[in-house]
Structure 1
Amino acid sequence: MAALPLASLAVVAGVDLLTGPDLGYLPLLALGPAFASLVGGVRRTVLIGVVALVLSLLLAAYNGLLGDRQSNMSVISITGVTAASILATVGRQRRERELASVRSVAEVAQRVLLRPVPRRAGHLRAAVSYTSANAEARIGGDLYEVVTGPTGVRAIVGDVQGKGLAAVETAALVLGAFREAAHDEPDLRAVSGRLEKALNRRLSGEEFVTAILVEADAGGKLTLLNYGHPAPLILRGNGTIVMAEPVESAPPLGLAVLQVEGPDPHQVPFEPGDQILLYTDGVIEARDRAGRFYPLAERAFLLKEDDPEEALEKLRRDLVAHVDAPLHDDAAMLLLRCRDEG
């Protein structure tokens, strides 16, 4: 893009020299300053315009056209396009500054909303990855958190229905309620009850949040509550892969109008060397150019790295490479690994 203005001037000048003055290519030199408005600043746009104007006069003199109608039209065209390009450059730079400010605010908001999870939480090691579908804002409706509670490590991964600022506001509400309840409540059912109350005070009844809550105690047991969320992936220390499907499906959080009881706690063993991957549907619903979904279970071997953060980053890069395009939905992943103290 940066070389396009000068390249267009060189091509037009070359064609004019080869074909002669009869076809009248000189006004096409205005392409130079027109392309200059796409990148760079005002000074560069003016410089390209001046170069185009001087080149037009030199070619007109070479062709014996200096001062005639064709030469004058070329000068007028280049001057007018240069002036318009300067105005376009000023507007583009102003929008770029505004976008940079918005992105800065969004990044600060995301750091407040989605704080970095602790690398070590109780007897677990943790790593997180978040890839927003909105590349400009870098923030979306997926949520995650890890808290060390009174009976073990508690975590949540969720996905707010909808997009935009409303989804971000709902995600902030869920995370705030979870961070408070995870420290106070004796079990996961009580924690989810607090989340449900917080959501029902705000949501209209047609909005909801899919989520999975996890509690890992030091005795080698995981307790899961799944509210309409994709089942997590459990990788045993011996290489076995298990999908932690709930016994019965339950509706998402925030749908109190359905008057359905929440899910029963689902317990699975979680020994040293085991790890569990919690994720949002943006991961398993990511499609490649042929329309194939991302095969998460088949790619779970990427999580065998010693460092959980490095393992999760390798999986994230593989996901992005599978799509080979901007994601259509936010993709959040939380990896919890049971440490082997020995």
Structure 2
Amino acid sequence: MVHGRPGREVVALHSMWEHPRLITAGLTSMPLALLVVDQLLIPSIRLGPLMVGAPALAAVFCPPLGVVAVIAITIPCVVLAAAGNLNLGTANFWVQLTALMLICAGAVGASWIRERREDELARTRAVAEVTQRVLLKPLPPSIGDLSLASVYLAANEDAAVGGDLYAVADVGGRVRILIGDAHGKGLAAVETASYVLSAFRRSVRRRGPLHAMVTDLEEDFREDLRDATAAQPDTSSASLALEEFVTAVVLEVPEKGDGLTFMINFGHPPPLLIDHGQVTVLAPRSCAPPLGLGDLDGAFPHVETVDFPPGATLLLYTDGVIEARNRAGDFYPLANRLPGWARLAPEALLSAIHSDLRRYVGRGLSDDVTMVALHRTRPA
């Protein structure tokens, strides 16, 4: 699985935060430096009041013990500066010292609260990352003649998981691939995505034909929604069976050779086929209703036959890719970008799209982005 990398500025800031002792040392040297400069300046210019900035900055960057160390240096420096300026014992000095003590006490408390919240955020992110690994299991790098890669980017980077989903299953000579996008946002979308993935894994284990598998997938998914409603009638889960659905594409690809590849589209953006530098949109002749809404139509899902020759690459994606906009409001032209990357292996292809998408948008993503790439190797 390919993940987005933070920018250089974020990496540099993270590295700095990993060395709190260096930050503490720098802030403890601040009042010492101000004390030396203060003694060299003319009497009308005094730098003692600036020393209170050291504890205030320490509250932002240092752990509580580091703040205490900065305070232990700052207070003597303030006293020495006042003595050197013949202000020691004056009413103004005692006002400044009282203000400094209040700032120091607040700095220690603020640092302690910040450190607790950082620990809570770290634990939350760890849980989110485990949840992502459980829901979106890493794809094998290859199955038979197929090379595979995936990328998942949550719009909320702190959450690390969202409503997009994908899964791959080997069913004995053929590979079934699911990519989908749960309707809605937040925890409700994550919950919906988990039900689809669970239903997909159960349905593929039955090893029936593709049309039977997707029928089971629809029924199992809706049954899970009904169970969630019955189990939690007074929570947000109660609305899932009535409001939640998932657009998806299911593919069945032979592991070896160039046998028939089958596709069922449940109202999802169509896959793109990259072959000999040309990009073909695998638009379905007809779409089935999104998963969860099959009872509204009643029609049997239409199985499409698509061409996936040796040497070609299939790209599956969610609408977060093609609906990403630049600052001018233009959508990301995915199909137009792909010919320039036609020769790339799946993982390199997804990395190129990811980097280009970030540059195109120029800011944070507004929707989850998920892509799966499959390449069929040419026979030796």
For the criterion TM > 0.5, the same-fold answer is yes
Q: Which runs of 5+ in 2 are unaligned?
A: 1-12, 14-22, 226-239
Aligned residue in 2 for 1:206:
243
* 1:160-188 residue CA offsets vs partner (Å, 9 max, x unmatched): 11222322222121112112222424332
Given residue 172 of structure 1, which amino acid in structure 2 is its aligned partner?
S
Instruction: Return 312-321 or 125-134, whichever deviates more.
Output: 312-321
8 A contact 2:166–2:177 mirrored in 1: yes
- The reply to whether residue 317 of structure 1 matches residue 355 of structure 2 is yes
The residue that corresponds to 1:220 in the other structure is 259
What is residue 107 of structure 1 aligned with on the other side?
129
- Contact 1:122 1:153 (C-alpha < 8 Å) held by counterparts: no
Equivalent residue, structure 2, for 1:255: 293
The one-letter amino acid paired with 1:253 is L
Deviation at 1:84, TM superposition (A): 1.0
Per-residue CA distance 1:64-98 (angstroms, 9 max, x = gap):
21111221122111111111111111111111111
**Contact 1:173–1:199 (CA under 8 A) maintained in structure 2:** yes
TM-aligned CA deviation for residue 326 of structure 1: 2.2
Change (3 A) 1:70 1:26: farther
Match of 1:97 in 2: 119
Task: Give the structure 2 partner of residue 130 of structure 1.
Answer: 152
Distance in 2 (CA, whole Å) between partners of 1:67 and 1:21 is 19
Aligned-residue offset at 1:30: 2.2
Note if contact 1:107-1:139 (Cα within 8 Å) is conserved in structure 2: yes
Counterpart in 1 of 2:19? none
Amino acid at match of 1:273: G
Q: Which amino acid is the alignment partner of residue 315 of structure 1?
A: I
After superposition, give the CA deviation of every residue in 1:127-149 in whole Å (9 maximum; x if it has no partner): 11111112122111111111122
1:243 aligns with 2:281: yes
Letter in 2 for 1:251: P
Tell me if structure 2 keeps the 8 A contact 1:121–1:147.
no
Distance 2:144 2:281 in 1: 24
The alignment-based identity, stated in percent, is: 39
Report the secondary structure of 1:38's partner residue. Answer: helix
Provide Cα deviations, 1:310-338, integer angstroms capped at 9, x if missing partner.
22222222222222322211111000111
The answer to whether the aligner puts 1:49 opposite 2:71 as a matched pair is: yes
- The CA deviation string for residues 171-225 of structure 1, in whole angstroms up to 9 with x for no partner, is 1211121122224243322222122112222032211101111111344332211
CA–CA separation in structure 1 for the residues paired with 2:366 and 2:27: 34
SS in 1 for 2:370: strand
Query: Is contact 1:26-1:71 (8 Å) kept?
Result: no
Supply the distance in 2 between the matched residues of 1:119 and 1:260 (Cα, whole angstroms): 38
CA shift in 2, pair 1:298/1:11, >3 Å: farther
Counting matched residue pairs gives: 340
Structure-2 change in CA distance of 1:257 and 1:221 (3 Å): closer
How far does the alpha carbon of each residue in 1:40-79 deviate from its partner, in whole angstroms, 9 at most, with x for none? 2112212222333233223222322111122112211111
**CA-based RMSD:** 2.7
Residues 154 and 161 of structure 2 are in contact (CA less than 8 Å); yes or no, is this contact kept in structure 1? yes
Alignment match of 1:299 (pick from 319, 334, 337): 337
Question: CA distance change for structure 1 residues 341 and 15 in 2, over 3 Å: closer, same or farther?
Answer: farther
Query: Counterpart of 2:197 in 1: which secondary structure?
Result: helix
C-alpha displacement at 1:306, in angstroms?
Answer: 4.7
TM-score normalised by length of structure 2: 0.81
Mapped contact 2:164–2:181 kept (Cα < 8 A): yes
Q: Name the amino acid aligned to 1:211.
A: A
Please list every run of 5 or more consecutive structure 1 residues that lacks an aligned counterpart in the other structure: none
Q: Distance in 1 between matches of 2:371 and 2:329?
A: 22
1:229 equivalent in structure 2: 268
Cα pair distance change 1:302/1:66, threshold 3 Å:
farther
Q: Secondary structure at the match of 1:138?
A: coil
What TM-score, normalized to structure 1? 0.89
Q: Is the 8 A contact 1:275 1:338 kept in 2?
A: yes
Give SS of 1:30's match: helix
* Distance in 2, Cα, partners of 1:86 & 1:16: 29
Matches within 5 A, 1:1-342: 2=23, 20=43, 26-150=48-172, 152-201=174-223, 202=225, 203-217=240-254, 218-236=257-275, 238-256=276-294, 258-261=296-299, 263-301=301-339, 303-342=341-380
In 1, are the aligned partners of 2:274 and 2:342 still within 8 Å (CA)?
no
